Copies of this chain bind each other. A is one copy, B any other.
Amino acid sequence: MRLSQYFLPTLKENPSEAQIVSHRLMLRAGMIRQSSAGIYSWLPMGLRVLRKIEQIVREEQDRAGCQEVLMPTIQPAELWQRSGRYDDYGKEMLRIKDRHDRDMLYGPTNEEQITDIVKMECQSYKDMPKMLYHIQWKFRDEVRPRFGIMRGREFLMKDSYSFDMDYESSKRAYNKMFVAYLRTFDRLGIKAIPMRADTGPIGGDLSHEFLVLAETGESGVFVHKDVLEFDIPGEDIDYNGDLQPIVDKWTSLYAATDEKHEESAEAELGDKLLAARGIEVGHIFHFGTKYSKPMGATVTDKDGNEIDLQMGSYGIGVSRLIGAIIEASHDDGGIIWPESVAPFSVGLINLKSGDADCDKTCAKLYSDLNAAGVETLLDDTNERAGAKFNNMDLIGLPWQVVIGPRGLKNGVAEVKNRKSGEKEEIAIDQLVAKFSA
Interface residues of A (CB under 8 A from B): 5-7, 9, 33, 35-36, 39-44, 47, 50, 65, 67-76, 91-92, 94, 96, 98-99, 102, 104, 106, 113, 117, 120-122, 130, 132, 137, 139, 141, 143, 153-154
Contacts and interface: CB of A to CB of B under 8 A. Distances in A.
Contacts of A154: 72-74
Contacts of A76: 35-36
A35 B106 CA distance: 13
Given A35-B71, A50-B70, A74-B106, A41 B94 contact: no
Nearest to A104: B36
A91 B101 CA distance: 11
A130 B6 CA distance: 9
Contact of A69 (B43, B94, B130): B43
B7 A69 contact: yes
Nearest to A98: B141
A133 to B, nearest CB: 10
Could you say how many copies of this chain the assembly holds? Answer: 2
B72 A47 contact: no
A128 to B, nearest CB: 11
Nearest to A381: B126
A7 B67 contact: yes
B73 A73 contact: yes
18 contacts: A7-B130, A35-B71, A35-B113, A36-B76, A36-B102, A39-B74, A41-B69, A41-B113, A42-B69, A43-B69, A43-B117, A44-B67, A73-B154, A74-B106, A91-B99, A96-B96, A98-B141, A99-B141
Q: Is the interface of A mostly helix, strand, loop or mixed?
A: mixed
A171 B9 CA distance: 25
Nearest to A9: B121
A44 B132 CA distance: 9
Contacts of A153: 74
A43 B69 CA distance: 5
B117 A41 contact: yes
B69 A35 contact: no
B41 A72 contact: yes
Contacts of A99: 91-92, 141, 143
A69 B98 contact: no
Of A40, A70, A94, A106, most B-chain CB atoms within 10 Å: A70
A143 B101 CA distance: 12
A316 to B, nearest CB: 18
Top 5 closest pairs, chain A to chain B, by CB: A42-B70, A36-B76, A9-B121, A91-B99, A41-B71
A120 B6 CA distance: 16
B73 A44 contact: no
A67 B98 CA distance: 33
A7 B128 CA distance: 10
A23 to B, nearest CB: 16
Contact of A73 (B42, B69, B117, B137): B137
